[in-house]
Structure 1
Amino acid sequence: MTAPDDSHLKETVRSREELLRGNFLHVVREHVALPDGSPATREFVLHPGAVAIIPMLDDGRVVLERQWRHPLGQVFIEFPAGKIDPGEDRLVCAKRELLEETGYTAREWARAGVLHPLIAYSNEFIEVWFARGLTLGERQLDHGEFLDVITATPAELLEWVRTGTVTDGKTIIGTLWLQQVLAGAWTLEWRR
C-alpha cells in the first residue's frame, strides 16, 4: 500500500512549553498551526515507551499479574509490562520486566507489534512481545512494587475480557494477538 499524502491533515509545531515534570509524568503544551494555518494548542504527556509481555507456559496457560492501580483505585489483571529505561533495547526491557515482576525467564521471544494506547493525550507506545519456554526463578520486584502472579488459560482470559473482568487496554490487545497466534491466523518470528 502506498502511503497517502497526509499534508492536508498535518499540524506544524510552533513552540513548546513544559507544564509539569514529575517523577513519572512529563506534561507539555505545544502551540501548533493547523493545516489551514490557524493557531491551536495541544497538551499531552510525554512517555519513554513501554513493553508488554505475553508469557506462554508449556501447558498452554499464560502468566498474568494482579496489581493495584491507584488512579482508578482498584486491582487490575494485566500482562507483565514496564517502562523502557533511557537507551534500553526493547527486548532487553521485556526480559528484565518479565524476570522482575514474575520471576520467569524465557527460552524464546517474538515481537508481535506496537500499540499506541492514548493517542489523544500521550505519545506513549507499548511494544508487545511473546515469551515461551518459561523457567520460573525468583522475582526481583522494584522497591514499592506489589503484585500477585497468576495464570489463566487463553479461554479463561478471553472470557475475562468479554465479561469486563479484564479492562486493561494492553492486556485486551495482547489477548487479541494471543487468540490470532493460537488460531494460526498470525505468525510470529521466534528467536532465542
Structure 2
Amino acid sequence: MDTFEGKDAHLSEHTLHSEDLLHGHFLHIKRDTVRLPGGEQATREYVVHPGAVMVIALFDDGRVLLERQYRYPMQRVMIEFPAGKLDAGETSLRCAQRELQEETGYRASEWARAGVLHPVISYATEFIDIWFARGLSAGERHLDAGEYLDVFTAAPAELLAWCRDGQVTDAKTLTGALWLQNVLRGDWTLDWQSPT
C-alpha cells in the first residue's frame, strides 16, 4: 500500500495553544490555536473521543445482525450495526466482544479485524475499529442503564438496498455495508481468529 507519510509536511498544521471548552462525562471539547502551512494562525474546535468498535456479525445462513436505536441528536430511530465506545484500557477486540454480548446477547467463536474508519474527520478524533464476527451463539443481553434498542437480522441484499434508498444513513453502518459487500464477493479477505 502506498502511503503519504513524510510527503505531507507542507499540509500539516502545528498546535500553538490548546484549551478545554467542555470536559463532560462522554465528550471532551477543545479549542486549539494552530499555525497553518502558510504561517498564518487559525482556530480549530474539535471533540476528543476515546474510540469505538463496530461489529458485523454473520449468521451461518448469511444474514447479518442489526439494531434499531433512537439517536437523540438525529431525533429518529436509526438502523445500525452493533457498536460501542472503548472503555479506558480496553482492547479493541475485548470491546467488540463486550458490546456484541451486552447489546445483542450474542457471542462469537471467531473474530476478524477488518479495518478502521474515522466518521467525522472535520471535528472529532473518533475512530471506529471494524470487526467481523461469526460462529454466533445466542444468550442474554445486558443493556446499559437507559439503553433501549431492538435487535434484528437482515439479508445483506436487504441492508444494501436500505443503504441505497436512504433508510440507512449512519456513517459507520454505511462503511460496514461496503466492507460486507466486498468480503462476501471475495474482493477483500479477512484473517479470522478464535480468541482464547
After TM superposition, is the score higher than 0.5?
yes
Could you list the runs of 4 or more consecutive aligned residues of structure 1 that deviate by over 4 angstroms after TM superposition?
A: none
Amino acid at match of 1:118: V
Matched, 1:118 2:120: yes
Do structure 1's residue 106 and structure 2's residue 97 form an aligned pair?
A: no
Letter in structure 2 aligned against 1:144:
G
Take 1:133 and 1:85, find their aligned partners in 2: how far apart are those partners?
25
Deviations 1:18-74 (A, max 9, x none): 001112121000111111211111000000000000000111100000000000110
Aligned to 1:153: 155
Amino-acid identity (%):
62
* TM-score normalised by L of structure 1: 0.98
Q: CA deviation at 1:100?
A: 0.2
Q: Give the AA of the match of 2:92.
A: R
**Aligned residue type for 1:133:** G
- Residue 94 of structure 2 aligns to a residue in which SS? helix
Q: TM-score, normalised by structure 2?
A: 0.96
Alignment gaps of 5+ in structure 1: none
> Which structure 2 segments of 5+ residues have no match?
none
CA gap of 1:26–1:158, structure 2 versus 1, over 3 A, is same
What is the SS of the residue equivalent to 1:8? Answer: helix
State the match for 2:190 in structure 1.
Answer: 188
Amino acid at match of 1:104: Y
Alignment of 1:42-81 (within 5 A): 42-81=44-83
Deviation string, structure 1 residues 69-103 (Cα, Å, up to 9, x no partner): 00011000000000000110000000000000000
What SS does the aligned partner of 2:29 have? strand
For 1:63, the aligned partner's letter is L
Query: Over aligned residue pairs, what C-alpha RMSD do you find?
Result: 0.8
Deviation of 1:114 after TM superposition, in Å, equals: 0.2
Q: Tell me the residue number matched to 2:40.
A: 38
Number of aligned positions between the proteins: 192
Indicate the residue corresponding to 2:7 in structure 1: 5
* Matched AA of 2:187: A
Cα distance in 1 for partners of 2:168, 2:152 equals: 13
Query: Would the alpha carbon gap of residues 89 and 2 (structure 1) be closer, same or farther in structure 2, given more than 3 Å must change?
Result: closer
Partner of 1:134: 136
Secondary structure of the residue aligned to 2:102 is helix
Aligned residue for 2:9, secondary structure, equals: coil
For residue 25 of structure 1, what is the amino acid of its counterpart? L
Corresponding residue number in structure 2 for 1:83: 85
Instruction: Give 2:168's aligned residue.
Output: 166
In the alignment, the residues of structure 2 paired with residue 59 and residue 10 of structure 1 have an alpha-carbon distance, to the nearest angstrom, of 48
Q: In structure 2, what is the equivalent of residue 177 of structure 1?
A: 179
Q: How far has the Cα of 1:2 moved from its partner?
A: 5.2
